[in-house]
Amino acid sequence: MEKGNYGYFDDKLNEYVITSPKTPTPWINYLGGGDYGGIVSNTGGGYSFDRDPRYKRILRYRYNSIPEDQPGRYIYIRDNDNQEYWSATWQPVKAAYDHYQCRHGLGYTTISHIRSEIASELTYFVPLDKKIELWWLKLRNQSQRVRHISLFSYAEFCFFDAAKDQQNVDWVQQIQQGSFENGCIFWNAFMKTWEYIFFTASIAPHSFDTSRDQFIGKYRDLANPQAVETGQCGNSIAHRGNGVGSFCHQFELAPGAEIELVYALGTSPDKNETPAMIQSLIAPASVKNLFLQLKNYWNDYLASFQVETPDTCLNLMLNTWNPYQCKTTFNWSRFVSLYQLGIDRGMGLRDSAQDILGIVHAIPVKARELLLKLIHCQFKDGHTYHLFYPLTGEGTMGEAQGGKYNWYSDDHLWLIEAVVSYLKETGDFSLLTEKVTFAESNQPATVLCHLEQSILFTKRHLGPHGIPLNGFADWNDPLNLDRGKGKAESVWTGMFFCRALNLMAELAAYLGKKAVAKGYQKLYAKIQSAINQYGWDGDWYLQAFDDEGLKVGSKTSIEEQIFLNPQSWAVLSGVADPLRAKTALKKAVELLDTDFGLVMLFPAYKEFRDDRGGISTYPPGAKENAGIFTHTNPWFIIAELLSGNNDDAYRHYSKIIPIYKNAIADRHEVEPYVYCQNILGKEHPQYGLGRNSWLTGTASWAYVAGTQYLLGIRPHYDGLWIEPHIPSDWKEFKVERYFRGIKLTISCSRSYPSGIYLNGVLLESANLVPFQKLNKETPNFIEVGISE
Amino acid sequence: MEKGNYGYFDDKLNEYVITSPKTPTPWINYLGGGDYGGIVSNTGGGYSFDRDPRYKRILRYRYNSIPEDQPGRYIYIRDNDNQEYWSATWQPVKAAYDHYQCRHGLGYTTISHIRSEIASELTYFVPLDKKIELWWLKLRNQSQRVRHISLFSYAEFCFFDAAKDQQNVDWVQQIQQGSFENGCIFWNAFMKTWEYIFFTASIAPHSFDTSRDQFIGKYRDLANPQAVETGQCGNSIAHRGNGVGSFCHQFELAPGAEIELVYALGTSPDKNETPAMIQSLIAPASVKNLFLQLKNYWNDYLASFQVETPDTCLNLMLNTWNPYQCKTTFNWSRFVSLYQLGIDRGMGLRDSAQDILGIVHAIPVKARELLLKLIHCQFKDGHTYHLFYPLTGEGTMGEAQGGKYNWYSDDHLWLIEAVVSYLKETGDFSLLTEKVTFAESNQPATVLCHLEQSILFTKRHLGPHGIPLNGFADWNDPLNLDRGKGKAESVWTGMFFCRALNLMAELAAYLGKKAVAKGYQKLYAKIQSAINQYGWDGDWYLQAFDDEGLKVGSKTSIEEQIFLNPQSWAVLSGVADPLRAKTALKKAVELLDTDFGLVMLFPAYKEFRDDRGGISTYPPGAKENAGIFTHTNPWFIIAELLSGNNDDAYRHYSKIIPIYKNAIADRHEVEPYVYCQNILGKEHPQYGLGRNSWLTGTASWAYVAGTQYLLGIRPHYDGLWIEPHIPSDWKEFKVERYFRGIKLTISCSRSYPSGIYLNGVLLESANLVPFQKLNKETPNFIEVGISE
């Protein structure tokens, strides 16, 4: 792992180290564990919110604005001996520096900076299970003389309702007010129907500002605020307008002296209790302890699955960055990033369902909690909301409108995938009998009944070819085929439905319900047959039939000849026979592969098509219109692995690993430590450019593909299924994994004899390690002979 | 009219001259005549749109952002001999200057600037009846040496859908594209379902940029774009992302030499036709001519009503700035300003209805067009939309939700006020038989029938005291009394209803429908009696009864003891007898008057009250919660005038005239040449601070109060009613006015004998100048003796 133009991986500390503030896009990190949190960039840009970025925003951020990536969590450092000043995070002053470094770690970001022999180290984090964020500053005089330094913080407050903050300037500007009491700056709306935002510091300030206008000054900006230029805040109380949390601290620093200063930001229902509650928490000793707790949390989290393979990049992904990204997608779905504003979307039902796959091994209790929220998004007829807001529970159908149907054909089926993955990981079948109400009523039903409703909904919505209707869209959101007739069918949904039927049949069988299982199998056979009769185009599977019954994704077309997903899912669902599977996968590679992964379809739509909808609003090569939609690549990889094409699969896997983008950061632009949702495809002039880093289903599916299919360590109702599909030039690999609370050390090697040895004893099955046979108290060592 | 800290009035040129770029808020002007247009500040900040700021935005603007008042229509001037650069509008570079001046004229703004002996004069305007805007630059070398200058334009394009531009960054950034063909920069969405934005210049450029990133450079901003620093654009074609129209022109200027360069911005359905169409238009000679046409238009417009009184400030308001503001409110209702973002609100039904009162004498044909649009917003049951979008016609009920009713009690009644004002001004009764469809159906009805429906709706929605129900709110938008019972009544609406009944009765009588007139009179008497029986609080009228039937605006309360509007409208409606009128007006002055006008109510709500709603979300003294809501002041002034309190009325009038704020601009902050909607009241710490300049019903009502009641020149069905209510120390005044196409010169003087002399002949009536008696071909001279 070489150093790139902008940074490198520090795998000892589990940090990505950014060495230049001028990254091609802001390279961000997430703070918080899913409740209080926010984003922070490598120059301190970003914002905060308390559980819900739409309705409880705390810090403002200006997307897509100039200057870019502002505002943020800033500290100005002023040398009072010569009136020079700079920022501890480079932005917003952007002064020259002697040293700059940003370390994005797991749940924290540290930015260190030196100028004029004044060294600062600023760490942002949200303590575990606390609804506050801390800015932990260490400032050191590295010179041989006494220095006089003023520090100015800058937190720009947002109206809790982030949409109104932008859109109802008239009202919001009249009703917000600031105050300063007991060392705390408070910010709130006059009517106080919500809580206060508070901002405080571990040392009493020299002066403060709550009014943004006062702090900045007229026709100045964040690069040259009036308060910083003049050397002190104005003790302004904002009676209206825009608010900031700015404290001015003044220090005399002896040669070599270091001070620590901690700022805390959060919300509070009460002005009086806040200061006392916070002060003990933010004493430097306490903060150090809170930080260690966070570090330990993540060490424990990652320990739930660790690998050692010949591929150090793969190791780094699977051991650190991929599970970290999975946790982030689990926290925020597709709601809040540099590309999603935390306002309109809310959490995605299908997105969150898939996000569960990437975290269920580590935090099954949290997975269960979210599952129950998702299941409550189901209507009695079986379809679900497409989106929901985490704090209010309020759901919507997303963009679905304009056709006959306002539902997506796949949302509800993802509940099955997620629940089954929870059951197999945990063995906790009590979930199935848990009662959850439907979205539109107080009527409860068991989780199992909800899953059955999912199946029934699709069963009741089959099209003219006996293939599931497309509704507003299938997983491919902007492919909007329903023009009012409601006749469009999704071949892909048919396959996904088959996979769901397989899972339900397997579950029913495991529960001893043979007749039920048989029913699912029968329906599976019917759909499978329809797909193979009507959905096969000769060399690959169609994507769909449009509202006129015409083929979508056929060689007979000029555009949209082939879609990626149906080829992958023909295998994932078991719908394709081996010959068709082989043919389809081969053709997919031939027509869709690029240097950075497979594109969604080929050839791209060259102009807007009313009968295809949203997908054709994108230029050729962008997003779903023949872009590399990274999420779909792990599905294809799994299909290749299931088909035994291990080397091909590994090659595909390597193409999408973000670490390799570190060397081409100027082209790829987005963060090299996390997967991004989309990369412009070969038909786009900016081929290779990534966007929508962080919040993408790629995270959980790349994790599933890597751990469960490539390494082949797959939870099952009865135990752990072990079936590696490693590349031919690998000799061995090792996994340490916790399974239902029990630690397993799994060594797989081509030099071992065939079969699985559990604690030295050869098991009956060539793949299954039965849970019952595991030592519950002492460590388990598993040796697996790879004979492929 | 003294010079203020920031500027002065040039009454010869009808311009306000701003002498410092650092005005307390951006001081703006409007471009365009209601179709293509936008706003422009004194430093070039602002944005553009083609007819609809929501769905056809052209230039972006960032509200409430840092740096403030950016972006805008910028030209960078670079001295290539020393690489220094600055902006022709001061912003965004904010370099030091030797001269700066901004002249806001009628429909145009000229900013002149000198630095390093390079003088620029930049004029923005929209030519009459054209859907383009021009930036007309003159650049002069004032030095004695040859100069080498590069110019860089900056127009930051917006996605047509301005809401999506802000909120769906993910999509919008992927689909926008730039191109450069035949000297034109084009910007459009890939799917091309809308038109192109184009930007071009009268001289072929040296180079260009369409990509904002390329022009600005990474981590730079508008103060130091990379292209300007390096001295040339990069000929960038944006395949995605943010777009700009930037041309680089390079000139060698001999000593004393001047060049002219014209930029044009607009939309076009076709890339090929645009360049040719525009090029001839923007040759400097053509532009000069277009500018003269605009000047002539406004000279003619203002000539429709000119006054000469002893009060030069009043003259300046009534002759220039007030009618100019009235035209602006007529164009944009409350939709697009520095406070209203041109996204959510749309046009206001009641707002536009009132706006018509301020322009109907000058542009009756346009008034008729808008009236028909407004009337189409009425539902069959008589209530109307609260808001509507001008381009799509789509309407909404605004914020009305949460109670039993989702309508405002007054919206539909304003149609009567507006139609009657049109009829009296024009005598064009064909309007009444025009057929207009209802909002929810294709069923047409005559305009007269629509007005009758307005009356019937209110008649059918009377409350327990026989007073009209409040619905979601009356004119006082945020006083939301309906908590679900739907019992709250608005005394003010009762008065407004009475005034509407009066107007309808008068109209019916004029149309010869005696029985109908009698019906209205009977209903009037009934409502009047209910108001006087239940709505009188002893010294003033109540505002309302809340949803529990309790008094709102009563001396028995601690807060909200008295509201302004019911006292004014008790007179405007004729509901109060002279004694009650006198008492109520006196008490209103006693309790509500301030240095800057009367506040809406007193005492303010001190905390949020769920039973009062929105009004109590504002802090005491802000907006409707006891702020000076300027709109209400002309109503009170009219009431004073109708009650014969001429000196008091004149005193109130003088308090709200914005010209007087020129001397206290640092306190008042907003533009001194137009009325603002609200001024913080005496209960607010920032008492005197204005906001929401420009778009306020104050414009039309101050105009009506000044021209029709103070000067007393009031159109009537039969002719012109003349009944001056001038202050006691005025001796005389003169008005030149067109009435139904006929020019009248009206001289009023205390030294004339009683009565009215038309062309030297004493008229029968002491007030009415019958239309039939006017000379149709030759000028008319009217002398009025003032005997009060």
Question: pLDDT tens for residues B511-522?
Answer: 999 999 999 999
Name residue, tokens 């109708």.
Answer: B642
Q: What is the pLDDT of residue B344?
A: 83
Q: Which residues of A touch B171 (CB under 8 A)?
A: 617
Question: Shortest CB distance from A68 goes to which of B66, B177, B219?
Answer: B219
Q: What is the pLDDT of residue B788?
A: 59
Q: What is the pLDDT of residue B612?
A: 97
User: What ipTM, to 2 d.p.?
Assistant: 0.95
Q: CB contact, 8 Å: B690 with chain A?
A: no
Question: Shortest CB distance from B169 goes to which of A67, A339, A680?
Answer: A339
**CB contact residues (below 8 A), chain B span 146-185, against chain A:** 163, 166-171, 173-175, 177
Cβ density class B85-102: b for 16+ within 10 Å, e for less: bbbbbbbbbbeebeebbb
Q: Where residue B401 falls among pLDDT bands split at 50, 70, 90?
A: confident
Contact yes or no for B780/B742 (Cβ under 8 A): yes
Q: What is the pLDDT of residue B270?
A: 87
Q: What is the pLDDT of residue B490?
A: 98
Percent of chain B at pLDDT above 90? 95
Indicate if the pLDDT at residue B581 is higher than 80: yes
Alpha-carbon span A260 to A136, nearest angstrom: 7
Residue B174 to chain A, least CA–CA distance (Å): 7
Which of B41, B66, B667 has the highest number of chain A CBs within 10 A, making it the mutation to test binding with A? B66
- Positions of E strands within B474-575: 489-490, 544-545, 551-552, 562-563
Give, rounded to a whole angstrom, the gap between the first and last alpha carbons of chain B.
30
Question: Shortest CB distance from B166 goes to which of A166, A222, A619?
Answer: A166
Among B469, B360, B212, B381, CA closest to B739: B360
Question: Shortest CB distance from A190 goes to which of B169, B340, B618?
Answer: B618
What size, in residues, is chain A?
Answer: 788
Structure tokens at A53: 């970025």
Residues of chain A with pLDDT under 70: 788
Structure tokens at A367: 């997975």
Global pTM reads 0.96
Number of Cβ atoms within 10 Å of the Cβ of A729: 8
- Could you tell me the CA-to-CA distances from B433 to A676, A696, B420 in Å, in that order? 63, 61, 14
Q: How many CA atoms lie within 13 A of A181 on its CB side?
A: 14
Q: Where residue B290 falls among pLDDT bands split at 50, 70, 90?
A: very high
Backbone torsion region of residue B77, taken as left when φ is above 0, otherwise alpha when ψ lies between -120 and 50, otherwise beta:
beta
Model confidence over B707-754: pLDDT tens digits?
999 999 999 999 999 999 999 999 999 999 999 999 999 999 999 999
Number of Cβ atoms within 10 Å of the Cβ of B533: 11
Q: What is the pLDDT of residue A274?
A: 77
Residue B394 dihedral angles phi and psi, to the nearest 5°: -55, 135
Q: Which residues of A touch B21 (CB under 8 A)?
A: 219
Model confidence over B291-313: pLDDT tens digits?
999 999 999 999 999 999 999 99
Which of A59, A156, A174 has the highest number of chain B CBs within 10 A, making it the mutation to test binding with B? A174
Residues of A marked as catalytic: 477
Residue A621 to chain B, least CA–CA distance (Å): 10
Q: What is the pLDDT of residue B465?
A: 98
Q: CB contact, 8 Å: B618 with chain A?
A: yes
Which of B166, B210, B215, B219 has the highest number of chain A CBs within 10 A, making it the mutation to test binding with A? B219
Instruction: Inspect the interface and report whether the beta carbons of A219 and B177 lie closer than 8 Å.
Output: no
Instruction: Inspect the interface and report whether the beta carbons of A174 and B65 lie closer than 8 Å.
Output: no
Among B470, B572, B576, B574, CA closest to B532: B576
Residue B443 to chain A, least CA–CA distance (Å): 26
Q: CB contact, 8 Å: B280 with chain A?
A: no
Mean pLDDT of the B228-238 span: 98
Instruction: Inspect the interface and report whether the beta carbons of A619 and B171 lie closer than 8 Å.
Output: no
Q: Which residues of B touch A680 (CB under 8 A)?
A: 240
SS3 per residue for B402-428? CCCCCCECCHHHHHHHHHHHHHHHHCC
Q: In what order do the strands lie in the sheet with B28-31?
A: B28-31, B36-41, B46-50
Contact yes or no for A676/A688 (Cβ under 8 A): no
Alpha-carbon span B665 to B7, nearest angstrom: 9
Alpha-carbon span A370 to A354, nearest angstrom: 11
Q: What is the pLDDT of residue A788?
A: 59
Give, rounded to a whole angstrom, the gap between the first and last alpha carbons of chain A.
30
> What are the beta bridge partners of residue B446?
B435
Instruction: Inspect the interface and report whether the beta carbons of B608 and A684 lie closer than 8 Å.
Output: no
Mean pLDDT of the B402-412 span: 95
The identity of residue A322, as a single letter, is N
Beta strands A347-348 and A387-388 are antiparallel
Alpha-carbon span A370 to A155, nearest angstrom: 32
Contact yes or no for A211/A246 (Cβ under 8 A): no
Q: How many CA atoms lie within 13 A of A134 on its CB side?
A: 30
Q: CB contact, 8 Å: A194 with chain B?
A: no
Model confidence over A725-754: pLDDT tens digits?
999 999 999 999 999 999 999 999 999 999
Q: Is the peptide bond before B67 cis (omega within 30 degrees of 0)?
A: yes
Alpha-carbon span A33 to A127, nearest angstrom: 9
Indicate if the pLDDT at residue B179 is higher than 70: yes
Q: Where residue B766 falls among pLDDT bands split at 50, 70, 90?
A: very high
**CB contact residues (below 8 A), chain A span 228-267, against chain B:** 239-240, 242
Q: What is the pLDDT of residue B400?
A: 86
Backbone torsion region of residue B179, taken as left when φ is above 0, otherwise alpha when ψ lies between -120 and 50, otherwise beta:
beta
Mean pLDDT of the B160-164 span: 94
